Amino acid sequence: MMNHQGSFSREIGHAAAETYLITRLSFNLLSYLGVGYQWITRFLGLALYAVLLMPGFIQVAFYYFVSPLVRLSVVYGDQPRNRLDLYLPAKIDSPKPVVVFVTGGAWIIGYKAWGSLLGKQLSEHDIIVACIDYRNFPQGTIGDMVEDVSQGISFICSSIADHGGDPNRIYLMGQSAGAHISSCVLVKQAIKESRGETVSWSTSQIKAFFGLSGAYNLPNLVDHFNNRGLYRSIFLSIMEGEESLQKFSPEIMVQDRSSKAAVHLLPHIILFHGSSDSSIPSDSSKAFVETLHRVGVQAESVLYDGRTHLDLFLHDPLRGGKDDLFDYIVAYIHANDKEALAKDAMAPPRKRLAPEILIKLARRISPF
């Protein structure tokens, strides 16, 4: 009884800490974007958006805090927020493939718990998921974010076998700002390796990169973000000044002559994007793939007609049932595992987590 009470108290304490951090992140966003009419309206819209999707969020939060298959806040480094969450399959009778996931959040409100729905659903298909947390602005700038994520990947590559993962089947995935950060990490790591620098993990350990609704050419997006409310002065502060935009733009980095040897070290890159994404236009993914092709990298883009910034990552998974993006990723990861593919084919339809009317209403007022 005492052990049960102690465990319950720890979960309550962890939930309180998570709630405090999420609240602080929200106020960080509001304070840095200003308190003008536009952002007060957006902030209220975000609050209403969360309320509408609360039936789904509550179910995912219960799983996140209570499930014994979720290992919260595993320490991977010495910096603040160097933590990650692990989502484990119910049965690990052999080494399982691993997805390292980097969440989005406009480089300001990113948080590892945002990947909990993805972690839950992929782990139900025998895929281990590691959601990496990282310093956000103003706690850190883009260089710190890249450093944190790289260290998180290194930790997974070296220790995931201890948790039942297959170190030879690791996939990197990022969404929105997380897709930008993780693609920067991947390209910069390839550049380091091509120059013979000492590294703690290798791009050869990453089987593929999945980029979801990401930004890959920052100079082309500064004005767009400014018009969307991520004002130029703030964005340049996050990115360490205008002079740093190119060195944190994967599309530009791979075209640098000094990166010629590095591009051949990159894994297969697959970029997913909704055609109706107004937060980061789908041209971002299309242009990056075209550039990757020109420099000799195996890459492809998968566009989803009429999908918005959060449809692919949140709204469609909340609907349950068939999910084209999810099915694509699972099939790709299990492509050479006939037993896993057979099990996927027999899996029951994913459970709906929120009523359709609430998802449609939330989609209409989403500030993203």
Catalytic residue among 126, 277, 311, 316: 277
Bridge partners of 156?
none
Q: Are 288 and 186 in contact (CB under 8 A)?
A: no
Catalytic residue among 176, 182, 279, 285: 176
- Cα separation, 328 vs 222, in Å, equals 31
To the query of whether residue 176 is one of the catalytic residues in this protein, the response is: yes
Angle (CA) 228-182-133 rounded to 5° is 85
Kindly tell me the sign of the dihedral angle through the C-alpha atoms of 159, 164, 169, 170.
negative
- Cα separation, 185 vs 259, in Å, equals 14
DSSP 351: P
State both tokens at 235. Answer: 């964005």
To the query of whether residue 309 is one of the catalytic residues in this protein, the response is: yes
Catalytic residue among 273, 309, 315, 334: 309
Q: Are 76 and 121 in contact (CB under 8 A)?
A: no
Locus of tokens 């450093």: 147
To the query of whether residue 180 is one of the catalytic residues in this protein, the response is: no
Q: Are 96 and 127 in contact (CB under 8 A)?
A: yes
Q: Provide the annotated active-site residues.
A: 176, 277, 309
